[in-house]
Every structure is written in structure tokens, then in C-alpha cells.
Chain A
Amino acid sequence: MTRPARIALKVSVWTVCLAPLALLAYRAWTDDLGANPISFITNTLGDWTLRILLTSLAMTPLRIVFGLSWPITLRRLLGLFAFAYVCLHFAVWSVLDFFFDWPRMWADIVKRPYITLGMLALLSLIPLAATSTTAMIRRLGARNWTRLHRLAYVAAVCAVLHYLWLAKVGVKDPYWYAAALVVLLGVRGWDWSRRVMRRRRARGETTPPRVRSQVENPLS
């Protein structure tokens, strides 16, 4: 891909990812956040966290299915945006909603599974954001870094369950996110099993099936 194309791509990702924030700010400015602004802001930020997180997890499947390589170059940026949104989501919850009432929030985190999972999703994204720089990839080594960044799957599963369990009867959106996640993880699972089969065949039919060693990467 040419340099101008790469720049255009990055600029559009920035634009799309910042647009919801700009819209929120505009609606706040024009007093258009509805009757329950805190709940509206929390939900909007949560929605966009999930959307961006799932988009970042769609980049590898795009390569697997369509053989495209350029999406991979957007993965880090998307992941960092998802992290930014989840931080804002958490900040609004802890500051605007509960106004630093930590004992009360802790009680909810421990008691309500959907909040526990939300916190787990947030926590599992922290090391990913912290090790997102090229320098950190070098320091950790590609293999360790890849292994660590599988936490993204944990985050996505926790985030989708967080939404599924918090939504009341009749709300359909979380099921769409869950379906998207199943497809994205399914593509990886299918690709992984395909590679295992190919390797097995390459070693010859007579070799007994090898027990999967720990270094193998189930989902990359």
C-alpha cells in the first residue's frame, strides 16, 4: 500500500472513532442528552467501546477470509481507541454516576456479574494498551507479545457478556454483538484447525496425532 493510501486510511479511522465523542460533546453543549444524561453518556460510550473493540478483532479475519493485509495496520489504532472509550465509560460511571463512592461501586463489582465482567474487560485491556508501542513489542519479543495480546479475546468475551447480562428483557442489541463475536472467533478457530490439519498431513499419515504443545497458538 502506498504512503498516501496508508495516511488516508489512518485519518478515516481517527475521524470515525472520534465522531461519536464529538457528537456527544455537541449534544451536551446543546442540552440534548435526554432526560437521563448520565445514563445516556454511559451507554453511548459503552456501545462504542464494544463496536471499536469488535472492529479491531475483525482485522485478522479479514486477512484470513479475503487475504487482505492492510487491515492489520489498523489493529493497534482501533485497539487503543477501544481502550480510550472504555476508560471514558468507566470514568463516567465512577465520577458522574457514583461520584467517587468507591465502597458502593466495589459492592456492585463483587455482587453483580455483569459489572464484574465489565471490570475484567477493562483490566484485561490495560496491559494491551501499555504494551502497544513498537518498543514494547521489541522488549517483550514477538512471541510473548502475541501471547499477551490474546487477552483481547478475553476482553471481548467479557465485554459482550457484560452487555448481555446488563440488558433487560427484550433488548436485542447485545445479541448482535454476541453473534459478531462468535463469527470473528469462529473464523480464527476454523483457520487454526485448518493449519493443524495441514501440518499433520505434511508430516505424513503414519505419524500418530501429536498432543498439542503449549506453544501452539490456538486463535491467531
Chain B
Amino acid sequence: MLIRRAPRFAASEITDPQLYLSRRELISGAAAALVLAPSAGTAATPAAAALQPLAATRNAAFSLNEPPTKVEAATTYNNFYEFGVNKDDPSRLGHTLRPRPWTVQVDGFVSKPKTFDIDELIRLFPLEERVYSLRCVEAWSMVIPWIGFPLASLLKRVEPTGQAKYVEFTTLLDPVQFPAQKPGFFGFSSLDWPYVEGLRVDEAMHPLTLLTVGMYGKVLPNQNGAPVRVVIPWKYGFKSAKSIVRIRLVSEQPKTAWEKAAPQEYGFYSNVNPAVSHPRWSQADERRIGEFRRRPTLPFNGYADQVASLYAGMDLKKNY
């Protein structure tokens, strides 16, 4: 009889051979540095530190049964305006961001406000791997294995009060680490920094909403929002704020960065909706990165079963 057992460890736990090979290089490099010390001390610094692997258990119930997008695509085709408006800017220029040390302030209408150190935050709750579809408002999509834990776990810990109606996420404001936050020609700036996003409390507490610290079995690369971001798979990608420094529970609907920049294009809800088109892009279909033909876009990005009830009775054409 064939007994099928779950593997003892997730594929993501297997150390990337490149990593342990590079560790050897590091050791030999360090040895060389010792020999040549002190003049060559700086030469042993690894140019781009390899991303640390991050162990997590696959949550099959919250995972798509589709092959993930190539990691090269997911880490070189990014919208992260803090580094620039072009898709390759974040991967080319992302090295200026320092994801450690890092703290996340959780405050507002909560009983137990607290500022978490990022490493403390990562150890606070068991990490899960979830394969979500990411749908960009620009009509392309990817399938990404994220690592994180439900935002609800963190919110419950700080105990939101009755006045908390919305959750506001704020991205780091630091033009040294985010060069594109500096005003350009004639004070021209793409967005009103810092980047602010928001959710209704029930959206934020939804089990799909993932506070994310890794992807593809490793910690988050800078260009994908290191060290911590949120992922809300039924909304367009820009709702998923990156490099978060503050999570604030508020009573009024937050004014988000994109709403301020172009209110007629980007609404507060921004649920994936093939029936409501963006002024520039039809949202009826999308190109899954790596595929040739467009595929139809699903309501709530395929998560309608889980989230449609959040919006019962709402006019989603008006609340786009």
C-alpha cells in the first residue's frame, strides 16, 4: 500500500545551492582578507548580499494551484515609485534601501500601541507560504509564493478599539534610501510622499490579507518592499503598500497616495473588477507574465468566494 505523506520540509526550506556555495566563497574570502589585512579588509565585503532563506509552511488552503512566475521576472519587473517610475528602476536602484535595522509602529485607535522591531515581528507569528495571484492595475499579473502571516494576527495583538474603522499603512519616507522621493526638475514629484495606503478594518482583518516578509523561500528583496509589506490579493497591486514603517488604526478613510495623485483613476477600494475599466486600461483581461495570450480577469482576482461578502450591498462601480 502506498502511503502518501507530506514532505518533512517545505521546498522553500531547502537552501539554495548558490547560497551555500557563496557562503564558502565568503569564508575563503574572509580568510584571504585576514591574510591581506588590514589593507584589503573592505575587498571581502560581498557586493550584493544574497537574500537569507526564510522557512515557512505552505498553507495549501490559501494557495493557488498554478506554477509561480519566474523569480527573475518577479524581482525585475516592479512598480515601486520610491525608486523610480520605470519597471526596472526598483531592481537597478533598490540597493539604497537598508531593511535593517527597521521598526514598525502600530498605533492609533488601539489599546496596546507598540513599535515592533522587524526581527521581533517576524518571530511573533508562525510564517506561512501562500501562493497568490498579484493583479496590477496595468493589466498584467503574476503568481507569487509569499511568506508572511495574517495581518489580523498582529492587529488582534494590539487590540483595536471601537473607534478603529480603517487601517492606514505608511511607507518609509527617506530620500536617501528612496532616491525618487527627492523632488526632480521644477520640484516635480511623481507622488505626494510618503506613500500611504489604506483598508477598511474588516478588509484588513480578512484572513487573506497577508503581512509579508518574504517570497520564493527567502526574505523580501528590496525591490519587492523589504523588509515588510502587505499583500491583499483581491485588490490591484498598488493597494499592497511596501516597506511599511507605520500601521495606524484610524476612524476616517485614509487619503491614499494614488487617490491624491489621480482620484478619477485610483479609488480607495480598487478591488480587481473586470467590469470597471480604468481610463487607460480595460480591466476585462490581463497578461499573466510569462504567457503569450491575454486571459480574462476574474472578479476580485479570483477571490470572490472569500471576499465578495465584504462588499454586499455596495455599488462597486461607484466605489471603484
Contacts and interface: CB of A to CB of B under 8 A. Distances in A.
B182 interface: no
A35 B289 contact: yes
A168 interface: yes
Contacts of A98: 294
B77 A35 contact: yes
A169 B257 CA distance: 11
Interface residues of A, number: 22
Interface in A85-121: 96-99, 104, 107-108, 111-112, 114
A172 B262 contact: no
Contacts of B190: 169-171
Contacts of A107: 282
A137 interface: no
A36 interface: yes
Interface in B163-197: 184-185, 188-191
B77 A34 contact: yes
B282 A38 contact: no
A169 B289 contact: no
Given A169-B262, A170-B81, A34 B76 contact: yes
A36 B191 contact: no
A164 B178 CA distance: 26
Nearest to B142: A35
B85 A170 contact: yes
A166 B184 contact: no
B85 A171 contact: yes
Contact of A170 (B88, B191, B279, B284): B191
Contacts of A169: 190-191, 258, 261-262, 265
Contacts of B85: 168, 170-172
Interface in A31-54: 34-36, 38-39
B280 A35 contact: no
A166 B280 contact: yes
A14 to B, nearest CB: 30
B293 interface: yes
B291 to A, nearest CB: 10
Interface string B114-132: 0000000000000000000
B280 A36 contact: no
Contact of A34 (B87, B184, B191): B87
Contacts of A38: 287, 292
Interface of B: 70, 72-74, 76-77, 81, 85, 87-88, 138, 140, 184-185, 188-191, 258, 261-262, 265, 277, 279-280, 282, 284, 287, 289-290, 292-294
Interface of A: 34-36, 38-39, 96-99, 104, 107-108, 111-112, 114, 165-166, 168-172
Top 10 closest A-B pairs, CB basis? Answer: A170-B190, A35-B77, A35-B73, A170-B85, A169-B261, A35-B289, A171-B85, A169-B262, A166-B280, A35-B76
Given A97-B294, A169-B191, 13 more contacts: A34-B76, A34-B88, A35-B76, A36-B87, A36-B287, A39-B287, A99-B293, A104-B284, A165-B280, A169-B190, A169-B261, A169-B262, A172-B185
